[in-house]
């Protein structure tokens, strides 16, 4: 028997993280998944799919996502039922998440909320004054935060072309057909 669900969509709200009496974390959320076709009004509709995620994965998912985050999930479809406080039998169909992937950079999802706390990883072993693989000077062991152009301004005219192998300095480029990969 096969029971696999693979979905890509956006969270309709922040994850509702709770803990069971035994201490296991459980997160509930709804994923809006766009349909591939449009309706008669030429509008794209979406399906709103209830999902549940458990334990450490639930805590991690809650910490790294928020309303509007684009995520991919993999899991299984589960149906269950229970009797509510009014005595009515309630049937629930949901996806039990086993794996997830964050499908947009954290800086992009933070910009949607107006909160950009992303900073580039640092190379603490790089000596000050050396250049990194991108040809820009290291900042004494730490990289600047995204959007902070402290020493990354446009290169000066005297050395702008010396590091760029594709810069056009007025000379034609002689390439043999044998050098082309196609």
> 112 pLDDT exceeds 60?
no
Where do the domains of the chain lie?
5-104, 116-146
pLDDT number for residue 125: 40
Q: Which is it for the CA torsion 141, 142, 143, 149, positive or negative?
A: negative
Q: Which is it for the CA torsion 79, 64, 70, 14, positive or negative?
A: positive
DSSP state of 178: G
For the chain, percent of residues with pLDDT exceeding 70: 59
Listed as own residue / partner, the contacts of 23-28 with beta carbons closer than 8 Å and 24 or more positions apart are: 24/54, 24/55, 25/54, 25/55, 25/56, 25/58, 25/59, 26/52, 26/53, 26/54, 26/58, 27/52, 27/53, 27/54, 27/58, 27/59, 27/61, 27/62, 28/52
Q: Model confidence over 157-181: pLDDT tens digits?
A: 455 555 665 566 666 666 677 766 6
HEC profile of 9-37: EEECCCCEEEECCCCCEEEEEEEEEEEEE
Architecture, CATH, for domain 5-104 = Beta Barrel (2.40)
User: pTM, whole model, 2 decimals?
Assistant: 0.57
Neighbouring-strand partners of residue 22:
none
* Confidence tier at 40 by pLDDT (50, 70, 90): confident
> 45 pLDDT exceeds 80?
yes
Q: Which residue has the higher pLDDT, 74 or 127?
A: 74
């Amino acid at each position: 028997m096969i029971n696999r669900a693979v979905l890509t969509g956006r969270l309709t709200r922040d994850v509702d993280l709770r803990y069971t009496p035994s201490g296991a974390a459980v997160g509930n959320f709804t994923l809006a998944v766009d349909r591939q076709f449009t309706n008669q009004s030429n509008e794209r509709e979406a399906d709103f799919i209830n999902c549940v995620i458990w334990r450490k994965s639930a805590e991690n998912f809650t910490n790294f996502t928020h309303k509007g985050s684009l995520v991919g999930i993999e899991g299984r479809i589960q149906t269950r039922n229970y009797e509510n406080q009014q005595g009515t039998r309630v049937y629930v169909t949901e996806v039990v998440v086993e794996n997830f992937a964050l499908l947009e950079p954290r800086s992009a999802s933070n910009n949607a909320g107006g909160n950009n706390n992303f900073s580039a990883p640092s190379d603490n072993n790089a000596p000050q004054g050396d250049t990194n693989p991108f040809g820009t000077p290291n900042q004494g062991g730490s990289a600047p935060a995204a959007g902070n152009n402290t020493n990354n301004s446009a290169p000066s005219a005297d050395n702008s072309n010396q590091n760029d192998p594709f810069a056009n300095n007025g000379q034609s480029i002689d390439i043999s057909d044998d050098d082309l990969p196609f």
